Amino acid sequence: MITRISRSVILGALVAAGMTACSDQGTPATNDTDKDNMKTTLAAPDRKLVPNDKSKQVKQLQKDLHEIGYKIEETGKYDDNTKQAVKDFQTQNDEMAATGEYDSVTRKWLKKALNDNFEVKPGKGLLSQNISKSEDKTITVHNPADLHVLVNKNHALPDGYEPKNLVAPNVRFPFTEDLPKRYMQKPAAKALEEMFKAADKDGVELFGQSGYRSYERQVAVFGNNVKTMGEKEANQVSARPGQSEHQTGLTMDVTSAAVDFRLDQDFGETKEGKWVKDHAYEYGFIIRYPKGKEAITKYEYEPWHLRYIGKTAAKTIHDQNLTLEEYLGAVE
């Protein structure tokens, strides 16, 4: 975030000092009418606006977006171009979900941008980082090391990708071997340690079960599922090689003694599962495949599968009951 002195602050300082800029003809460069126009430009609509709305408020939003660099027409109708501009703006700060709808959080950051307290780079948001909208086309992401990388059935990791900063978090596991699945990227591992300590204080005993998984290991996992349950069912409960979040090193499956350390939907009904649902976001984790969102994630409900994305984004997703796809604006 870059903070700069706003135009209104500069103007106020000049007026207070009795200084006014004049044109060659001696006419003040900023008169009362100009000030009123500036106030109008920096209004930022104060109510929620959604696609297909048509009003003066929408026109004001379009004017504001144009002011910070988005090339859209001020038609007064919340059309597709306006929606895409809003989504791109939203992806430039973790606190906003890229829904394409103008809400109170978006207004907060739009006001900051209009007053030069938040730098915006139109077209440079997360939507430019290979967020596809196709239901049947898989692309290879070019930001595999990004904290918010989207990996799913439509977004695959590059061939041979392996995170570089893998460490084993100091948490409980129901096994003693030093296996690759103990490991996570360092920031995620540290956050997991903090979450486990907090759970312990609340009398909740969590166990890590499966973290990092290489491409080769995912080949074996998916292949075994295909053999035992068929390809269609396997595709609902496991990822194809290259499409698994476990390969990013940002994921950990957690479990408890209450479910015999299995990765089972029953975990969501246990004391441990309920604690995870209520508190994981406080440490930067989300339940990646929540109940009721199967049509979006394309996976069955997995209360054990935690994905690290950082505290700010995790809080937004938790508070608004979103999936990562919805947060990133990858759902139409």
For residue 102, the tally of other CB atoms under 10 A from its CB is 28
For residue 44, the tally of other CB atoms under 10 A from its CB is 19
Count Cβ atoms within 10 A of the Cβ of residue 277 and give its class: 0-12 exposed, 13-18 middle, 19 or more buried: middle
All residues at 6 or more sequence positions from 150 whose CB lies less than 8 Å from its CB, including other chains: 130, 131, 141, 324, 325, 328, 330
Residue spans of alpha helices (H) in the chain = 7-16, 32-41, 56-67, 80-90, 104-114, 186-201, 215-229, 231-237, 271-279, 294-297, 311-320, 324-328
Catalytic site residue 302?
Answer: yes
Give the separation between CA 127 and CA 202, rounded to whole angstroms.
39
Q: Which of 67, 95, 216, 302 is catalytic?
A: 302
Are the C-beta atoms of 153 and 162 separated by less than 8 Å? no
Question: How many CA atoms within 13 Å lie on the side-chain side of 136?
Answer: 0
Are the C-beta atoms of 90 and 84 separated by less than 8 Å? no
3-state secondary structure of 250: coil
Q: Catalytic residues, which ones?
A: 302
